[in-house]
Amino acid sequence: MTNVILTEKTNPNTVNIDISSSLKIAEMINNEDKIVAQKVSEKLHEIAKAIDIISDNFLKGGRLFYFGAGTSGRLGVLDASECPPTYNTPYDMVQGIIAGGDKALRYAVEGAEDSVELAKEDFERLNINENDTVIIISASGNANYGIEILNCAKEKKAKTISITCNPNAKISKHADIVICIETGPEAVTGSTRMKAGTMQKMVLNMLSTGAMVKIGKVYKNYMVDVKPTNIKLKDRAKRIVSEIALCKQNEAENILKTNGYKVKEAVIQIKYSKTFDEAQGLLSKYNGILRRVFEELD
């Protein structure tokens, strides 16, 4: 059993889960989940290096690609899909690709994670280049799909990152940055949608959020590039402008309505009595970083 991948081993803490009460089942799973955050904290240096690579490439006009199969692929698609409404990014700036295509988001696609040809097809249609960042997400880190994606990325001189739970993962030999977080055996043996999936979600949150912060999508901890596509987000935009510009919410709302709900521009318009065009010019001068605009005008 020495060569069995950690996530495939039997967890001694949950061997009686099938004869336990509902409360005990919940306690067992919760206790296993408590392990995840601590394990992630042990790899913050690697995560920070990955954030720097991603943000540097964004500033060069590059894109971020998540590739994975099964749960890993679904989590990559989820993180990518949340970037446009959260940070008003172009839809191609962060992309999630799941082995087997969109059908695999809902249904298992047999053999997708083992297909080298499928990996080549997915990679080639994206026109990945040296300014892009490619991340492979895989609990075991041994699937042919991920290995081939990394090989293709290397040929295009794209920066590569692997996220895995397996210290012996094959993908780790092909990536520039290796984020290996050993979450250990699952509460249900081999069910990597559990601790492994929780770890992946946490790390992806750090990578995309960290990179967006670094390129000026956040001021203090305000979501200043939010794309207000519904009532809730419009209300959030109004509150953000009001709190940063120190104005009443109705004043913030009036400016937002006239400028297309552009939060950073609205803040500058109100705080410094600038026109919309002047606000855009200042933001352009400082690559959209609101703090830099404040430093000039204060």
Judged on CB neighbours under 10 Å (0-12, 13-18, 19+), 82 is middle
Does 48 lie in the same domain as 16? Answer: yes
More confidently predicted of 23 and 113? 23
How confident is residue 1, by pLDDT bands cut at 50, 70 and 90?
very low
Number of domains in the chain: 2
What is the structure's pLDDT at 231? 95
Does 201 lie in the same domain as 78? Answer: yes
| Active-site residue identified among 32, 113, 186, 265 | 113
Does 153 lie in the same domain as 263? Answer: no
- How far is the C-alpha of 28 from the C-alpha of 22, rounded, in Å? 10
| Active-site residue identified among 8, 46, 82, 278 | 82
pLDDT, one tens digit per residue, over 70-85 is 999 999 999 999 999 9
Does 235 lie in the same domain as 203? Answer: no
What number of CA atoms fall less than 13 Å from residue 55's CA on the CB side? 19
Does 197 lie in the same domain as 242? Answer: no
Tell me, yes or no, whether 119 lies in a domain: yes
Which of 93, 143, 152 lies closest to 122 in space, CA to CA? 152
Range of the domain at 244: 231-297
Does 198 lie in the same domain as 110? Answer: yes
Does 249 lie in the same domain as 105? Answer: no
pLDDT, one tens digit per residue, over 211-245 is 999 999 999 999 999 999 999 999 999 999 999 99
| Helix spans in the chain (H) | 22-41, 44-59, 70-87, 116-124, 144-155, 195-214, 231-245, 249-259, 263-272, 276-285, 290-297
Does 134 lie in the same domain as 11? Answer: yes
Q: Is the pLDDT of residue 2 over 70?
A: no
148 is catalytic: no
Does 248 lie in the same domain as 189? Answer: no
pLDDT, one tens digit per residue, over 136-169 is 999 999 999 999 999 999 999 999 999 999 999 9
Does 99 lie in the same domain as 240? Answer: no
Q: For residues 284 and 216, is the Cβ–Cβ distance under 8 A?
A: no
pLDDT, one tens digit per residue, over 3-13 is 778 888 999 99
Tell me, yes or no, whether 2 lies in a domain: no
82 is catalytic: yes
Looking up residue 90, the CATH number of its domain turns out to be: 3.40.50.10490
Tell me, yes or no, whether 284 lies in a domain: yes
Does 67 lie in the same domain as 124? Answer: yes
Tell me, yes or no, whether 223 lies in a domain: no
